[in-house]
Structure 1
Amino acid sequence: MESSVPVVMSSGGFSFRAIADWAKWPSDWVMNEVTAVATDSQDRVFVFNRGDHPVAVFDPDGQPLFSWGTDLFDRPHGIWIGPGDEVYCTDDLGHAIHKFTAEGRHLMTMGVRGRPSDTGNSSIDYRTIQRSGPPFNFPTNLAVAPDGDLYVVDGYGNARVHQFSPDGTLRRSWGEPGSGPGQFKVPHGIAIDRNGVIFVADRENSRLQRFSPTGEYLNEWADVARPCEVAIDDLGRVYVAELGYRTGMWPGTSAPSVDSTGGRFSIFDTTGTLLARFGGGQRPCEPGDFFSPHDIWLDSKGNVYLSEVIRSCCGNKRPAVGDYHTLQKLERLEGTAP
């Protein structure tokens, strides 16, 4: 991608400067698309990508620091950084979650790489799931609760949330295929607020479901379009990356339309009231707009990092790497909503 001009985007008192070419990728690194992004206690940015340097780490200005993860993953999908800078990586095609130090030293694996649980599914298509099952079958993302417990959404080949102790011992699971309360069609993203309330991005049901720490259904928020991931700031506001309906549709479903809701991200207050919304425009590959939002993360300064899986969502009509953005830094402007 040629150097782009930052674009200021504003909504509901929130203003960001969108920088589409923020990450300065070394010329000899192959990077097809960024599936997930997270920052550590130093605001170093960990970029989980489908390239030859799967975990690429940058400073806040986008300069590369180091990388690791070669040959460790079947397909990178989700990343989460815990309070002690532990790095959790979700390998969906590997059916496993891996825990590392920030420098890439392996600490723990949950699941058995290459061995999916039995849900009766015949592929990564959630519509082939016949029943819910134990961990894991194409898991998607993980979040760490305030008490240190680990919650995994499991994901493309299952329809469950799994709760683990910090050492990886399974405590409980809940969920089944469907559209009712506590049921899922691709539980894709997850975040936990400071009170322990669990937000699950139930993507193909286009809703966020909220649960207690032990899995009791609380309620759902429906003003979202195929949510992929959730982030929560220090004030409890909820940021949602939404894939939208123009791309990434499953085989056999209605063809997407340019008039359909596009990729976007939204900000809600603690009650589910919409505060701000960005993207969804007619030029989704331009800075400040979004083609296929997949992950979202906030750093300590309120800056937003948003990754997109454009090549995956385009199927066989994949654009050249330089023709789109797959990771944008949305720099919060001073004087806007804190």
Structure 2
Amino acid sequence: MTIGDQPIPGCPVIIPVIKGLVKTIGSQGSAEGQYSYPWSVAINKDRDIVTADRDNNRLQITSREGKFKKILEFKQFEKPFKPCDIAISSDNTYYSLDDNNKQVVVSDENGHVIRCFGQNELEKPRGIGISPVDGNVYVTYWGGHCVRVYTQHGKYLRSFGSEGKGQGKFSFPCGVVISSTGMVFVADSDNHCIQVFNADDQYLYSFDCKSGDGKMRCPGGIAIENDKYIYVTTVINKSVLKFESSGKFVCRIDSDSDRLDRPTGIALTDNVPCRVVVADTYNDCIKVFVQ
């Protein structure tokens, strides 16, 4: 390497490239910084990790470096709060999917409940996402094999999908994410694929991968990067996969040595390179990957 035809002192140099698992956050337990069956993760406006710490009946917030910051608990409901997913709106409002009480709990970042909706009509909900286009809230209805759409104030708008195989039919849908253009990506768990719909709920296409590192068996969590890439956790394969939004398989993010066990929720940070945050449910921790 030269500048003005003069060699740069110290060349050649070795530049290490970090890739793969870079951090494990937490361990099994109920103390601060510990988890019990963490099911989902999201990134808030402060770029912290918000975890649905399911069997501890709480949300737990840590920095991206893994430093404990805050616990949010909701003890005012008839049954214990059991978060299975969480989405965060552009104004940093938290939408927690509480399947034990069959509701969406809307709160501020300090845990003050603003409203709840969907009570007793969401039998075994699994995933929640917020559209960046119109702010509508999408909830995957595991028990009803469909996706329900609400306003942020909790008004029910519509549903799409039904039980079965094939275009626009679901078998236990899980994670859901919406692109900046309103395209809806749904992890169709027992059909082992991702189904894609437009903003009018019309089916567009599906994608999966049936062999190799990209094999998709029971997709659970799903995240989107700049509308270009889709990241998926797979429960049976115990892996984290990256696809182009068109459905072309790109790569596997984790490796066998990382020993993921039932990875579920997934979120992306705005770091460069991108960091992939995964709820490693059966290992009671959060794992962070760079790819």
TM-score relative to the length of structure 1:
0.72
Question: Corresponding residue for 1:273?
Answer: 248
Q: Please tell me the residue identity of whatever aligns with 2:198.
A: S
Instruction: Quote how far apart the aligned CAs of 1:78 are.
Output: 0.6
Q: Deviations over 1:21-40 (max 9, x none)?
A: x2489974463221111111
Q: Does 1:208 align with 2:190?
A: no
One of 54, 61, 65 as aligned partner of 1:50? 54
Selected match of 2:219 from 223, 227, 232: 227
**2:69 equivalent in structure 1:** 65
Residue 296 of structure 1: aligned partner: 266
More deviation, 218-227/43-52: 43-52
The residue number in structure 2 matching 1:187 is 173
Matching residue of 1:8: none
- For the structure 1 residues 165 and 50, does the alpha-carbon distance in structure 2 shift closer, same or farther, using more than 3 Å as the test? closer
Match of residue 139 from structure 2: 152
Question: Does 2:159 correspond to 1:173?
Answer: yes
CA RMSD of aligned residues (A): 2.2
Match for residue 86 of structure 1 among 90, 93, 114: 93
Contact 1:198 1:212 in 2 (8 A): yes
Equivalent position amino acid for 2:102 in 1 = H
Return the alpha-carbon distance in structure 2 between the equivalents of residues 279 and 40 of structure 1. Answer: 24
| Aligned equivalent of 1:329 | 288
In structure 2, list runs of 5 or more residues that go unmatched: 1-16, 210-215
Tell me if structure 2 keeps the 8 A contact 1:24–1:63. no
Which residue number corresponds to residue 108 of structure 1?
A: 115
* Structure 1: gaps spanning 5 or more residues: 1-12, 116-134, 245-261, 311-323
1:53 Cα deviation (Å)?
5.8
Distance 1:26 1:213, change over 3 A: same
Task: Report the secondary structure of 1:31's partner residue.
Answer: coil
Distance (Å, rounded) in 2 between the aligned partners of 1:279 and 1:305: 11
Q: Please say if residues 52 and 70 of structure 1, whose CA atoms lie closer than 8 Å, have aligned partners that are also in contact.
A: no
Change (3 A) 1:79 1:18: same
- Structure 2 residue 277 is matched with structure 1 residue 305: yes
Aligned residue identity for 2:50: F
Match of 2:35 in 1: 31
Give the distance between the partners of 2:124 and 2:30, measured in 1 at CA: 32
Determine helix, strand or coil for the equivalent of 2:253.
strand
Q: Could you tell me how far apart the structure 1 residues matched to 2:18 and 2:174 are?
A: 26
Aligned residues: 262
Partner secondary structure for residue 190 of structure 2: helix
Give per-residue Cα distances to partners, 1:96-150, cap 9 Å, x unaligned: 11111111111121112xx3xxxxxxxxxxxxxxxxxxx4111111111012111
Within 2, Cα distance between the matches of 1:83 and 1:51? 28
Cα contact 2:230–2:242 (8 A) shared by 1: yes
In the TM superposition, residue 82 of structure 1 has moved relative to its aligned partner by: 1.4
In the alignment, which residue of structure 2 is the partner of 1:98?
A: 105
* 1:180–1:14 CA distance, 2 compared to 1 (3 A): farther
8 Å contact 2:276–2:288 — kept in the other structure? yes
The one-letter code matched in structure 2 to 1:292 is R
Contact 2:223–2:267 (CA<8 Å) still a contact in 1? yes
Kept after mapping to 2: 8 A contact 1:306/1:327? yes
CA distance in 2: counterparts of 1:26 and 1:186, whole angstroms:
29
- Contact 1:241/1:265 (8 A) holds in 2: yes
Tell me the alpha carbon deviations over residues 283-320 of structure 1, each in whole angstroms, 9 at most, x when there is no partner.
Answer: 5xxxx33121111001121211101332xxxxxxxxxx
Give the secondary-structure state (helix, strand or coil) at the position aligned to 1:18.
strand
The normalised TM-score by structure 2 is: 0.83
> What's 1:255 paired with?
none
Q: Post-superposition shift, 1:271?
A: 1.5
Name the % identity. 21
Residue type at the aligned position of 1:150:
V
